């Protein structure tokens, strides 16, 4: 790789994070924040005004909470295309739903208005987006969640700095060192009462909390009611709605005992310690003057403007590239691009040729006209800038301001002049999507897609991997209602030599079926095509395009639900066939099942590991139990197959959140890699998981005023562990391209330790403590470790910071299992040195055959005392409590997870 390419890679490395936010910190102020109003939200201009008020007040609260360091400088509000016109609404530039930091969208499920941040990576890593419902933004949920401006700052801390909540609804109470049962909170200076408060009609009763005989903590209906009037200033990540709370918990007042998610995932560090370690913090100093109010831009989504810029240089003659490009472009024009969009076309070699001015797609007539403009011959050199400048000309003839228009650039060649137009591209306001074909496509152009917020795809010369069609298929607009977007159900290919048949099935589930499109391609000779619907009725009338060597069929109306079967018979001796199937939501009111895939970074340097993520959702509800497989293709077409897991271990931060993850370390060469994911669900295997989302705003059950509880309206009752079985489904998704450098060709020693154990749990049984955890592997989450080192202590920080000096447990009989198996081990704790010890803390380190050790596991704890409950007056009166006297000797295991997933490695 040349020096120029290396410099571009370095620039990209600094520009790109793991998510798609366009937010930048400039002179202490956050710029480029995007609030996107979902197209399904009924038009209401009050939402826009409330967003402005919320952010303006939140900016001052954030400034004070961060020691006069951060504020909100400018915010764009994306307004849906279906809202009425207003002269104040401008056209977006790079802003789109894909880059939204805050979504204002319908609730996850009816009645679920809790604000939350979609966050599935490790501590200190940025989240995906914040989800506010319209009712929350309009101020209708303030009683339950507190003022919206303060809550925005709470969620911003999740999103920007990767901190977590300091409450835990799965573990609302814990056995404290004080030998009392305490509410999980930070700081412990927050005062309140633990009570059971029940209302029927206008009549409410309150009583003290009883101890649950199983957990030895307070019963399920017990809640912590904070005092309305407090003096404690921390913490915003516990309950920012308390008037006195204006700070994050810091090293001095942080509650390390509580089983909060922050303690679990951030190694018992306070939220302020994590924020202080962020790049934002390190690159700023406190200000003296108060910040200016935020500036707002109102941007309305318009009809889509796309110009295809297609490489027809001489190198496109090789590897059947020209024809494969035409097949994929035809699929895009026939199926992917939406009605109402404007599309133009430019070809380029050493110069550029305008082949079609912008045409608005109203019917199949315009689509067919564009098909006829595709290149038929390939020759000449490569001038990417010439192609892009001609695209600007095409767009500018109809839209003099080319802001927000899209250029789909497909190129297979190097062009050392491409850097010359980067400045012009950046200033244009256009979005560049790069499809790199083959191993030599220019590295410099990646920066164009990066700085304009575009997508970057890679397709190898292995036609059976279907990379080009997948890339064009992934370029559906993200700014339309999900029910209007084509989803890829299938993408498969085969090289056929001795065997002449490619047989398979495609499942069409009830959430899709509208505008279903089957596409078949070949490289030599048209195969015999057979396709049957679920009733066994053969489908006829494929449109055959012999020039581009493809055939396609659009199913009218809504395709039948069930298993569709296809059989393709090759006529040539050596043939490559592919099958692609797309479909849209069958019903606009029922969200379709979707799969989104991505890597944790867009560039990486060997030997740093990467993480593959695939999110399987229906609307915003996670789908559990799916079989999810990642296919990672290198520059030369070699494919690495990875089974992704949602088990809360290894690379997976949260169990059962619908995000399936795995480490990727099998780098075979330098250059681009392409990610593709397939998700399948079988009958009664996959299920919707209806529990409340993680990292959500704390619901305030009520306040204590003058010693009495004033309750808030109860939340919508849903069984938290409800799983709704799903029918069978299949989806495939492109996760785009990423670039690897510094891969060694020499044999190397073992570079990878076992992954960190993050789900260690401890349960007392008699005089023993039972441990369970998920086995790590010899190399992160692959293989088998050599041994486990288990140590115990009566001091959590001693165990964390001086693990090697803590008391070791005899593990001679503990033989490790394969990675991702369940491990169990029981031991007698023996003597803890400290007489006044209240807890035993336990942690594990794994060792592989090369003697490499993992990071320290999360720390599990076991209490060694009888808890004291709050004494309370007479239970017979409303708003009074009961004293609980019957206490049982207990040893309580509550888990505190430290999860520092091996993460962001230096580019």
CA-based nearest residue to 42, from 120, 108, 111, 133: 133
C-alpha to C-alpha distance for 298 and 88, rounded to whole angstroms: 7
Q: Output the 3-class SS for 330-347.
A: HHHHHHHCCCCCEEEEEE
What kind and span of H or E run contains 622?
A: strand 621-624
CB 381 within 8 A of CB 313: yes
CA-based nearest residue to 461, from 667, 669, 638, 312: 638
CA angle, corner 182, sides to 178 and 184, nearest 5? 130
Tokens of 520: 């078949």
Task: Please give the distance of CA 773 from its chain centroid, rounded to a whole number.
Answer: 25
The residues with which 552 forms a beta bridge, in sequence order, are 519, 543
DSSP one-letter string for 518-529: EEEE-SSSPPEE
C-alpha to C-alpha distance for 645 and 290, rounded to whole angstroms: 47
CA-based nearest residue to 474, from 418, 434, 512, 508: 434
Name 64's Cβ contacts closer than 8 Å, sequence gap at least 6: 246
Tokens of 563: 């298993």
C-alpha to C-alpha distance for 136 and 33, rounded to whole angstroms: 19
> What separation in angstroms does the CA of 514 have from each of 8, 510, 592, 679?
43, 10, 11, 20
**Count of helices and strands (H, E) across the chain:** 16, 49
Sign of CA dihedral 15, 17, 20, 23: negative
C-alpha to C-alpha distance for 803 and 793, rounded to whole angstroms: 9
CB 227 within 8 A of CB 703: yes
C-alpha neighbours within 13 Å on the C-beta side of residue 368: 5
Name 590's Cβ contacts closer than 8 Å, sequence gap at least 6: 510, 511
Q: Output the 3-class SS for 394-455.
A: HHHHHCCCCCCCEEEEEECCCCCCHHHHHHHHHHHCCEEEEEEECCCCCCCHHHHHHHCCCC
What kind and span of H or E run contains 660?
A: strand 659-664
Dihedral angle over CA of 330, 333, 336, 340, nearest 10:
-170
C-alpha to C-alpha distance for 222 and 172, rounded to whole angstroms: 9
C-alpha to C-alpha distance for 836 and 691, rounded to whole angstroms: 40
What kind and span of H or E run contains 74?
A: strand 74-79
Task: Please give the distance of CA 537 from its chain centroid, rounded to a whole number.
Answer: 40
Dihedral angle over CA of 224, 772, 162, 455, nearest 10:
-130
Residue 204 is classified by DSSP as: E
Catalytic-residue membership of 710 = no
Residue 8 is classified by DSSP as: H
The residue annotated as part of the active site, out of 114, 124, 144, 155, is 155
C-alpha neighbours within 13 Å on the C-beta side of residue 332: 28
The residues with which 445 forms a beta bridge, in sequence order, are none
- The residues assigned a catalytic role are 155
């Amino acid at each position: 790789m040349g020096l120029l390419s290396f410099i571009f890679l370095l620039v990209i490395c600094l520009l790109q994070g793991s998510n798609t936010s366009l937010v930048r910190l400039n002179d202490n102020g956050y710029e480029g924040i995007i609030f996107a109003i979902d197209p399904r939200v009924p038009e209401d201009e009050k939402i826009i005004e409330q967003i402005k008020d919320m952010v303006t007040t939140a900016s001052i609260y954030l400034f004070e909470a961060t020691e006069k360091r951060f504020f909100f400088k400018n915010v764009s509000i994306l307004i849906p295309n279906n809202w009425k016109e207003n002269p104040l609404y401008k056209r977006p530039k790079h802003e789109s739903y894909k880059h939204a930091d805050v979504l204002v969208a319908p609730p996850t499920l009816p009645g679920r208005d809790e604000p939350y941040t979609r966050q599935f990576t490790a501590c200190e890593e940025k989240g995906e987006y914040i989800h506010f419902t319209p009712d929350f933004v309009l101020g209708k949920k303030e009683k339950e969640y507190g003022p919206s401006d303060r809550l925005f700052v709470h969620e911003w801390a999740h999103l920007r700095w990767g901190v977590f909540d300091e409450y835990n609804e799965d573990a609302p109470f814990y056995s404290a060192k004080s030998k009392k049962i305490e509410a999980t909170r930070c700081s412990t200076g927050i005062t309140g009462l633990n009570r059971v408060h029940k209302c029927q009609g206008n009549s409410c009763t309150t009583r003290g909390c009883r101890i649950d005989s199983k957990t030895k903590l307070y019963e399920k209906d017990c809640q912590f009611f904070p005092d309305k009037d407090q003096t404690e200033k921390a913490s915003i990540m516990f309950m920012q709605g308390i008037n006195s709370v204006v700070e994050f918990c810091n090293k001095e007042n942080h509650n390390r005992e509580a089983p909060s998610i922050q303690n679990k995932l951030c190694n018992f560090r306070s939220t302020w310690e994590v924020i202080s370690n962020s790049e934002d913090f390190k690159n700023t100093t406190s200000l003296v003057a108060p910040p200016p109010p935020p500036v707002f831009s109102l941007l309305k989504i318009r009809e889509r403007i796309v110009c295809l810029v297609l490489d027809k240089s001489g190198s496109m003659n090789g590897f059947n590239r020209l024809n494969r490009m035409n097949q994929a472009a035809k699929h895009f024009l026939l199926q992917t691009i939406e009605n109402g969009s404007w599309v133009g076309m430019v070809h380029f070699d050493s110069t550029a040729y305008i082949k079609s001015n912008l045409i608005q797609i109203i019917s199949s007539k315009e689509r067919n006209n564009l098909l006829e403009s595709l290149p038929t011959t390939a020759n000449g050199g490569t001038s990417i800038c010439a192609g892009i400048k001609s695209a600007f000309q095409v767009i500018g003839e109809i839209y003099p301001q080319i802001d927000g228009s899209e250029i789909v650039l497909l190129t297979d060649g190097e062009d050392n002049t491409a850097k010359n137009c980067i400045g012009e591209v950046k200033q244009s306001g256009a979005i560049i999507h790069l499809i790199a074909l083959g191993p030599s496509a220019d590295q410099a152009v990646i920066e164009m897609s990066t700085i304009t917020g575009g997508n970057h795809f890679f397709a190898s010369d292995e036609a059976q991997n279907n990379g080009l069609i997948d890339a064009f298929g992934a370029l559906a607009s993200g700014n339309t209602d999900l029910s209007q977007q084509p989803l890829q159900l299938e993408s498969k290919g085969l090289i056929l030599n001795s065997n002449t048949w490619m047989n398979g099935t495609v499942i069409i589930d009830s959430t899709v079926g509208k505008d279903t499109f089957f596409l078949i391609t070949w490289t030599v000779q048209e195969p015999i095509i057979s396709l049957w619907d679920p009733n066994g009725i053969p489908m006829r009338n494929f449109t055959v395009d012999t020039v581009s060597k493809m055939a396609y069929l659009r199913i009218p109306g809504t395709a039948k639900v069930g298993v569709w079967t296809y059989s393709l018979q090759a006529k040539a001796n050596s043939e490559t066939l592919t099958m692609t199937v797309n479909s849209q939501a069958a019903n606009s009111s029922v969200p379709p099942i979707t799969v989104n895939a991505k890597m944790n970074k867009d560039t990486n340097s060997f030997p740093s590991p990467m993480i593959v993520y695939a999110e399987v959702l229906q609307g915003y509800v996670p789908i559990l139990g799916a079989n999810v497989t990642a296919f990672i293709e290198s520059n030369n077409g070699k494919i690495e197959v990875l089974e992704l897991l949602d088990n809360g271990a290894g690379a997976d931060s949260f169990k059962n959140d619908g995000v399936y993850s795995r480490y990727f370390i099998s780098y075979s060469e330098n250059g681009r890699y392409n990610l593709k994911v397939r998700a399948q669900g079988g009958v009664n295997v996959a299920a919707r998981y209806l529990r409340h989302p993680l990292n959500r705003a704390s619901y305030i059950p009520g306040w204590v005023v003058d010693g009495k509880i004033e309750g808030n309206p109860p939340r919508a009752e849903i069984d938290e562990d409800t799983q709704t079985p799903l029918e069978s489904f299949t989806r495939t998704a492109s996760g785009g391209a990423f670039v690897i450098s510094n891969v060694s060709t020499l044999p190397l020693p073992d570079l990878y330790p076992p992954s960190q154990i993050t789900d260690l749990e401890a349960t007392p049984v008699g005089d023993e403590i039972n441990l369970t955890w998920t086995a790590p592997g010899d190399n992160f989450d692959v293989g088998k470790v050599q041994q486990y080192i288990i140590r115990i202590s009566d001091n959590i920080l001693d165990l964390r910071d001086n693990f090697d000096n803590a008391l070791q447990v005899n593990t001679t009989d503990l033989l490790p299992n394969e990675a991702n198996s369940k491990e169990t081990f029981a031991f007698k704790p023996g003597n803890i040195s400290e007489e006044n010890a209240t807890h035993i803390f336990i942690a594990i380190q794994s060792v592989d055959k090369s003697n490499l050790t993992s990071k320290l596991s999360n720390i599990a704890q076991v209490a060694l005392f009888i808890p004291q409950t709050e004494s309370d007056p007479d239970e017979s009166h409303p708003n009074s409590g009961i004293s609980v006297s019957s206490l049982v000797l207990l040893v309580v295991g509550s888990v505190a997870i430290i999860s520092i997933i091996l993460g962001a490695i230096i580019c």
